[in-house]
Amino acid sequence: MKNNKIIIANWKMKLSLAESLDLARAVKEKFKDFSGGQVAVCPNFISLKEVGDILKGSPVKLGAQNVFWEESGAYTGEISPRQILEAGCSYVIIGHSERRKYLNVNYEMIHKTIKTVLSFPDLVPVVCVGENWDERKTDRRDYVLFDQVQQALSGLNIPGEQKIIIAYEPIWAIGSGTAIEPAEAEYAHKIIRITLNDMFGLKVVSNNFSVIYGGSINSHNVKGFTGLEDIQGLLVGGAGLDAEEFFQVAKSVASGKEED
Ligand code: PEP
């Protein structure tokens, strides 16, 4: 288990170019000897290339926060999988809830984007799913997760070696400062995994898919999320904006216990 955990930081639209480069340098330094799992940071588009250049030779990989479903063409304001690959990306977040909320991104668009990304073997999609507070409060979470995973992935052919990360992010926990109970996250991960098993079969799911949690994780609460079989890593927002905090979270995940 130890070395296959995944820790991804989403820097959102929070940093200037100069701040992104400073953080990239600090992250590179902190993680220089890290071997406890896959680590990536997702800066804004204008910082991607330069952050990627800084991270060369580091175990920390580069990810993009979004990508378009067409490979090229007249799509003003969009960015293609090939372009983010050129910038050095290995990961791309697809369907983050902030894009679903503010930009009306829906699971039909998410499905088309995943389909395109799957034709680029060097790019790992990080597909976000998660219920909102109303859905959770009214006991619709399980169905919502089942439905989102189905809409995002049904009918897709998963190439043999292609990795796909599903990020379970309960919308009501993101940016709230309070993560959900680890047992509740674990249960949601099971729902996602059962859905994936039904769709793709156990073998493909265990070879190709990882399910990670995101929502207000920090170095203090990460302990509850480590060492859980169904939670294969974390997507962090706020905790990824400070190199030391991000490192402490990653170390905890990698070692399966909280660092003091
Ligand atoms: C996110 O936006 O994906 C996220 C997990 O943010 P935070 O950790 O700040 O809740």
Residues 109-140 have pLDDT tens digits of: 999 999 999 999 999 999 999 999 999 999 99
Based on its alpha-carbon atoms, the radius of gyration of the chain, rounded to whole angstroms, reads: 17
Measured between alpha carbons, how far is 108 from 94 in angstroms, rounded to an integer? 12
Per residue of the chain (260 residues), give pLDDT as tens: 345 899 999 999 999 999 999 999 999 999 999 999 999 999 999 999 999 999 999 999 999 999 999 999 999 999 999 999 999 999 999 999 999 999 999 999 999 999 999 999 999 999 999 999 999 999 999 999 999 999 999 999 999 999 999 999 999 999 999 999 999 999 999 999 999 999 999 999 999 999 999 999 999 999 999 988 889 999 999 999 999 999 999 999 988 754 44
CATH fold for the domain made of 5-255? TIM Barrel (3.20.20)
Q: Name all residues whose Cβ lies below 6 A of ligand 1.
A: 10, 169, 174-175, 214-217, 235-239
Q: Is residue 245 annotated as part of the catalytic site, yes or no?
A: no
* Residue to mutate, 213, 217, 242, 249, ligand 1, most ligand atoms under 8 Å from C-beta: 217
DSSP β-bridge partners for residue 233: 6
Give the DSSP letter of residue 72.
Answer: S
Number of H helices, E strands in the chain: 10, 8
Q: Is 189 a catalytic residue?
A: no
pLDDT recorded at residue 3: 54
Q: How many CB atoms lie within 10 A of CB 76?
A: 4
* Sign of the torsion angle spanned by Cα atoms 137, 140, 142, 145: negative
| Shortest-distance Cα residue to atom 2 of ligand 1 | 237
Ligand 1 midpoint to CA 236 (Å): 5
Q: Which helix (H) or strand (E) holds 250?
A: helix 243-255
- For ligand 1, atom 6: residue with the closest CA: 237
pLDDT in tens, 41-50: 999 999 999 9
Q: What is the DSSP letter of 147?
A: H
113 in Cβ contact with 80 (< 8 Å): no
Q: What is the pLDDT of residue 227?
A: 85
Please give the Cα distance from 193 to 164 (Å, whole number): 12
Distance between Cα 173 and ligand 1 center (Å): 8
- For residue 257, what pLDDT is reported? 52
Label residue 220 left, alpha or beta by phi (over 0 means left) and psi (-120 to 50 means alpha).
alpha
User: Strands, E, within 124-251: which ranges?
Assistant: 124-129, 164-168, 209-214, 233-236
